[in-house]
Amino acid sequence: MSRRQYRPPPRVGHGPPDDTGCTILHVDMDAFYASASLIAHPELVGTPVIIGGGNRGVVLSATYEARAFGVTSAMPMGRARRLCPQATVLPPEHELYSRISSAVMATFADITPFVEPLSSDEAFLDVAGAVRLMGSPATIAQRIRDTVADEQGITCSVGVASTKFVAKLASGLAKPDGLLVIPADEVVTFVQQLPVGALWGVGDKTEEALSRLGLRTVADIAHTPRQTLIRALGEATGSHLHDLAWGRDPRSVEPVRRERSIGNERTFDHDVDDPDVVHRTLLALSDKVASRLRSAGLVGRTVSIKVRFADFTTISRSRSLRDATDVSRDIAALARELYDALGLQRARVRLVGVRVEQLSEASSTPVQVALDEPEHGWRDADRAVDRASARFGAGSVRPASLISDRGRRERPPTAGR
């Protein structure tokens, strides 16, 4: 049974739930990519919408109306279209998502320095230090919801609890566009009513193992001896699940986890065997990656490419630059070198990707200028493109070799991290 069919037990008495000591918040944007894309398409609000592209790509996101038909993230687009043929399909807008994500994270940082991003659209916050100035944890949670809605035009759901585990459960149950407080003295009752699949660390195989033991609810796990769980699941998993079943989660919020890499991929609608098409695609992907690096204030030293062939065989190659960069030209040149070094002869390519790794803050990394580079060189040109894109829209300024490709691009790139 789905965890969304569960709700906290009925409360006794009246008034709001007691959020004393519930200083951990989990904030999760509702259908983030889909909601952000709908800002420019208000006529589609309330209808099934899928964010993705091409019949051979995957679903990046879907509105709740599309999810009602069984459409889920990472599902092949072909299957999603069959499940919900009436859905409107919109291409991803990664620059928009990055811009909104940065603004949302800035909102969190205005409240507390203890922010632990889990992805571009969710984070844990520890608001213990903000309570005295901003009010109770529930008040702060509502302030976040109001700010995100007013400033970004999207909604988020917030779970408020005394631990990270319970706060994340609560935000999931509050979706969409809700706020749920789990009082500290109700944690055990709340957790133990849930199915075993609600616990962190319980995937399909672990759930099958628990089912063989006759354990179907968290209460069943809680009342099973720890050693029995350890014998069946191993020391780490058995102890972990037993602790969670009693609401115990000692982990603290770890502020700002640095991105380890930034990348983009493109799946072709049809297998490609023309090196010129692959070269142009690598250029477009490199341009996207470099733009995202600059937007995040990062530079990277290692460039890698991924190539997937028609038979789904996938290979990757990487090489490090002498100096970290966020310049589109540098990334594209190395990506092309890596591809050409493969020596492929009319190989049928299904997907290519470009990724930059070994990231660091641009402000703390010295910029090396090549001897033959003019005073105002490629880096300045890239920033001029960024300004034009911000004013006139993504893709308004593009490399000349891509202009003729505009009308026949197979699908927009999809971001990966």
Collapsed DSSP state (helix, strand, coil) of residue 408: helix
The answer to whether 231 touches 142, Cβ cutoff 8 Å, is no
d(CA 57, CA 55): 6
Q: Which residues of 402-411 are buried (b: 16+ CB within 10 A; e: fewer)?
A: eeebeeebbb
Is 121 marked as a binding-site residue? yes
Q: Degrees (nearest 5) of the Cα angle 84, 89, 92?
A: 135
The answer to whether 69 touches 84, Cβ cutoff 8 Å, is yes
Concatenated DSSP letters for 232-252? HH-HHHHHHHHHHHTT---PP
Concatenated DSSP letters for 273-342? --HHHHHHHHHHHHHHHHHHHHHHTEEEEEEEEEEEETT--EEEEEEEEEEEE--HHHHHHHHHHHHHTT
Tokens at 241, concatenated: 């699940």
Phi, psi at residue 382, to the nearest 5°?
A: -60, -40
Best CA proximity match to 51, nearest among 69, 74, 32, 34? 34
In angstroms and rounded to an integer, the radius of gyration of the C-alpha atoms of the chain is 24
Q: Which of 65, 95, 122, 265 is catalytic?
A: 122
Catalytic residue status for 373 = no
Is 28 marked as a binding-site residue? yes
> HEC profile for 146-203?
HHHHHHHCCCEEEEEECCHHHHHHHHHHHCCCCEEECCHHHHHHHHHCCEHHHCCCCC
Alpha carbon separation from 341 to 317, 329, 335, 338 (Å, rounded): 9, 18, 10, 5
- DSSP 8-class letter at 40: G
Q: Which residues contribute to the annotated binding site?
A: 28, 121
Q: Which residues contribute to the annotated binding site for Mg(2+)?
A: 28, 121
Residues tagged active-site: 122
